[in-house]
Each structure stands twice: as structure tokens, then as C-alpha cells.
Amino acid sequence: MSESMDLSGRSVLVTGGTGSFGRRCVETILSKFKPDKLIVFSRDENKQHEMSQALNSKVYPCVRYFIGDVRDLRRLQRAFKGVDFVIHAAALKQVPAAEYNPIEFVKTNIIGAQNVLDAAIDSGVKRVIALSTDKAACPANLYGATKLCADKLFISGNVYAGENGTRLSVVRYGNVLGSRGSVLPFFAGLRHRGVLPITDPRMTRFWITLEQGVEFVLQSLAKMEGGETFVPKLPSMKIVDLARAVAPECRHEVVGIRPGEKIHETLITEDEGRHTLELEHHFVIEPEFEVFWDGDRHRRDGGKPLSEGYSYSSDSNPLWLTIEDLHLMIESEHNRLRNVSSGATAD
């Protein structure tokens, strides 16, 4: 995929801006561009305070901190005034928590998504790109189902955006190395016990670093026409290989998969494959209902239709991470965390 859109001189808002992705996204934008305004929208005042200490307002006068919840449409409408681009990263995402608190996930992930796109259209935001997850493809749990619904809302939002110019697209990718709630810090935290719980030794997952995720979202923001879902080509890894990379001295105890969990993950289903284009480094899932869609740009960029029956799943992926690859990724993540804890930030 080509370079990111030049965000210098633009006004950008990141929902969930104090989360793992949101913070790295803000830091990346500040390191590469000179935005007119960069708005961190989130509901956690403490995280905003901590972030404002690291990203000093004297060094980064363009950064604004806006306390708010995507469940609150009026607050979003106020925050979106004069904004050019929105990166929607706010979500509730813990699978077990979703099963026990379903309506809370519906309020944030579905109703919140509707509020974001309504506020964007009403405020004349030019582009909105929303983060999705592999769990939205053939969802087996409530979290995945809420994200699939949100994806559908953003895609269909292009229909009633009408002629005001707002365009909305989605990015879908796999598990993020080192993000809050991921298996990497979970395994690292249990290493001292000498035993790591393995849900199923056959389990595989797609894997992406936080930095790669941010770069792909910014590149997709530049490429989007409105209505497509961007999927990066990612390596797969075996859960048992990750456990060996994190703690080679630990034995494994098979505990069984959790409710709503899959043995393998899917990024593109066979049904979606029928209207998906493959490019060198990513896929583009085109909208199934072509009321507003003209996908010539992605074809001009070299996009080719997939073969009949194609699906993109973590177990049949041709690209795999070895234990050595995982070692390098983990070491890089540890170095990043050390830099963050010592006060170093992107500049």
C-alpha cells in the first residue's frame, strides 16, 4: 500500500484516543505530520492526564483532549465541529466481559458506531475510518457480533451520507501484539508460576504489531473511496509457539477454549471472498450492495478478484511466524515499553 495521507494542516480526531491503538496513532501522527488540530476523544480523564504529561502541550500545541463517550451523540457533535478526518478506535472488546454484559457492548460498539457516523455526516467530516476485528468475520461471540454490526453501519452509512461528501470505511485486522488484554502480557504475567494455560494446542491467530496496525489504518485513510473494508496480509502464529517464545521453561496445561472463542480466526469469509480484491500487501472487501460504489481505483492499483471459494483464515495462511520471529517481535515490544516507561515518546 502507498504512503499515508498527509495530515499536516488538517484537523484529526481519534475516538478511544487513550487506548493502546489510539495513543500510538496519536504519537505516530505527531511524529510524521504537523496537524492543525489533533483531538484525543475518550472517556477516561486519568489516561488523558497521563497522556498530556507525556505529550507536553508546549511541544505539541495542536493536541486537544476531549472527555466524552461515543454513546453521547451531542458530545460527539460538539467534538466533531471543524474536523476533517475521524479515526474511530473506541470500543469495548473483552470477549468474556461481552458475554456477561451484552447490553453494554451493544451501547458502545453498535449505538456508539451509529452516533459516530451520524455526528460525522452532520458535521461535514470528510473521511471516517473505523477499526474492526477478525472476530467480526463469522462471529462466534457477542463482541464479534457487535463489531460486525458496526462494520455494516459504517459501510451503509455511505448511502445516506448523500452529497455532503462524508465517506466511511473499515479496517479489519487480527490480534495486536502487546495491546491491553492480549495474550502476550497474560503469558508474561504467569511465567513465574512455571505453567502456562493453553486453551487448545491447535489454536492459531493472525498477528500484527501496534505500529503496523497504525500504519495500515493511516494508509487506508489515504486510499479509501468510502464503503470498502481493508484487510492487511498478516502472518499467522500458533498459540503454543507464542507460549514457547515467551516462557520456554514453562510447561503447558490445556484448559479448553473459553465461551465464544474460536480455534482459528478468519479475516475474509468465503462469502466475502466473492466480492474481494487482492493487492500486493492487502485485500479490499467491496460492499455487496453497490448503490454508491465505484471500485475502479482499487482495480487500477492492481486489485484482482479472488478465486472461487477463497477464504482468509489463520490456519490456512501461507505466511507463518516462527518461534524465532516471535522472539524478535517480543523483544521489540519490550524495548518499546521500556522507552515509554522512561518518558520517551515519538517526536
- The residues annotated with a catalytic role in the active site are 135
Separation of alpha carbons 260 and 143, rounded Å: 9
- Percentage helix, strand, coil for the chain under 3-state DSSP, each rounded to 5: 40, 20, 40
Residue type, 216: F
**Contacts with 160 (C-beta within 8 Å, 6 or more apart), sequence order:** 121
Q: What are phi and psi of 255, to 5 degrees?
A: -115, -5
Q: What are phi and psi of 130, to 5 degrees?
A: -110, 140
Separation of alpha carbons 302 and 7, rounded Å: 25
- DSSP symbols for 295-346: THHHHHTT-EEPPTT--EETTS-S-B--HHHHHHHHHHHHHHHHHHHTT---
Separation of alpha carbons 296 and 300, rounded Å: 6
User: What does the buried/exposed string (b/e) look like for 215-224 if buried means 16 or more CB atoms within 10 Å of the residue's CB?
Assistant: bbbbbbbebb
Output DSSP code: residue 19: S
- Pairing state of beta strands 282-285 and 229-232? antiparallel
Separation of alpha carbons 294 and 240, rounded Å: 43
**Contacts with 318 (C-beta within 8 Å, 6 or more apart), sequence order:** none
